[in-house]
Amino acid sequence: MEKREELYSGKAKSVYSTDNPDYMIMFFRNDTSAFDGKKVEQLERKGMVNNKFNAFIMSKLEEAGIPTHFEKLISDQECVVKKLDMMPIECVVRNYAAGSICRRLGVEEGLELNPPTFEFFLKNDELGDPMVNEHHIESFGWAEKAHIEKAKELTFKVNAVLKQMFDDAGLLLVDHKLEFGLFKGEVVLGDEFSPDGCRLWDKETREKLDKDRFRQGLGGVVEGYEEVGRRLGINFD
Ligand code: C5P
């Protein structure tokens, strides 16, 4: 597959067209950003670690019957993905309280949420990705009702699969963010799943092994991601 021009460059990944209009190449850069791009750093190895982490998780999700855009790894920092028509919405599921829900609702970090709770956010940097509901999404035409309902259903399915997988590896999946798009009319999981977009804590010590290490200046960011990968059996070499 031939790599052509850059179509889009986000905060941590760039996307390129290919000679096949149905497929793109996703390049994981070492850039790491937080607070709507206000804190940005280059972290060595992060692009490679997240690319391989994402490939591992997407393959597990496919095995569990969840349609994803992931096709194959083609280099340390690149993979081939299906070209989706993305919905401008983030789907967040939370098994434990952390981050913005603690600030918004005044709840203590680490509180177990039973059942897990769910939130939609609009992808809009200028507005700081505000929380929205199904009615907003439908009324403003950001996505069709059936598609957003499917995205929510798939997010809970992903959560069930991954919560168990991380639990088996001695980790708590605290929360995670997913993005979906349409491929030939079907709702498909897009973007990435890596410690950049989820919270993972050691089950015993509750040590943070995700992007909160970067947000909170704890150091050892990529080392934390690699520790999670090591426990899952991912080979980063
Ligand atoms: O910030 P908040 O607590 O709402 O984040 C919930 C989850 O979604 C976290 O795992 C965070 O890393 C992820 N997230 C993300 N991209 C965003 C916002 C949140 O990956 N733009």
Ligand 1 centroid from CA 21, angstroms: 31
- Which tens digit of pLDDT belongs to each residue from 74-83? 999 999 999 9
Domain assignment present for 229: no
- Residue 207 to residues 58, 163, 175, 176, 217: CA-CA distances in angstroms? 25, 17, 15, 17, 14
pLDDT over 90, % of the chain: 98
Same domain, 74 and 113: no
pLDDT of residue 237: 86
In the listed set 20, 54, 82, which residue is the last one of a domain according to the structure? 82
Domain assignment present for 35: yes
Domain assignment present for 18: yes
Domain assignment present for 137: yes
Q: Looking at the CA of residue 210, tell me the nearest atom of ligand 1.
A: 12
Q: Looking at the CA of residue 119, tell me the nearest atom of ligand 1.
A: 4
- Which tens digit of pLDDT belongs to each residue from 5-60? 999 999 999 999 999 999 999 999 999 999 988 999 999 999 999 999 999 999 99
Same domain, 90 and 188: yes
Beta bridge partners of 189: 68, 180
Same domain, 64 and 95: no
Domain count, the chain: 2
Q: Which domain holds residue 46?
A: 3-82
Ligand 1 centroid from CA 112, angstroms: 17
Rounded CA-CA distance 219/217 in Å is 6
pLDDT of residue 10: 95
Same domain, 97 and 209: yes
Same domain, 153 and 126: yes
pLDDT of residue 166: 98
Same domain, 161 and 137: yes
Ligand 1 centroid from CA 8, angstroms: 21
Atom 7, ligand 1: residue with shortest CA distance = 176
Q: What is the CATH number of the domain that holds 192?
A: 3.30.470.20
For residues 27 and 8, the answer to whether their CB atoms sit within 8 Å is no
Same domain, 214 and 109: yes
Q: Which of 89, 91, 92, 117 to mutate to test the pocket of ligand 1 (most atoms within 8 A of CB)?
A: 92
Q: Looking at the CA of residue 101, tell me the nearest atom of ligand 1.
A: 3
Domain assignment present for 194: yes
Domain assignment present for 152: yes
For residues 60 and 90, the answer to whether their CB atoms sit within 8 Å is no
Same domain, 120 and 185: yes
ipTM, two decimals: 0.98
Ligand 1 centroid from CA 2, angstroms: 33
Ligand 1 centroid from CA 144, angstroms: 23
Rounded CA-CA distance 229/190 in Å is 20
pLDDT of residue 36: 86
Same domain, 62 and 128: no
Write down the residue that tokens 């829900």 correspond to.
101
Q: What is the CATH number of the domain that holds 16?
A: 3.30.200.20
Domain assignment present for 173: yes
Same domain, 10 and 64: yes
Q: Looking at the CA of residue 212, tell me the nearest atom of ligand 1.
A: 12
Same domain, 36 and 111: no
Ligand 1 centroid from CA 220, angstroms: 19
Ligand 1 centroid from CA 178, angstroms: 9
Same domain, 44 and 158: no
- pLDDT beneath 50: ranges in the chain: none
Pocket of ligand 1 (CB under 6 A): 90, 92, 98-101, 129, 175-177, 197-199, 211
What's the mean pLDDT when you consider all of the chain? Answer: 98
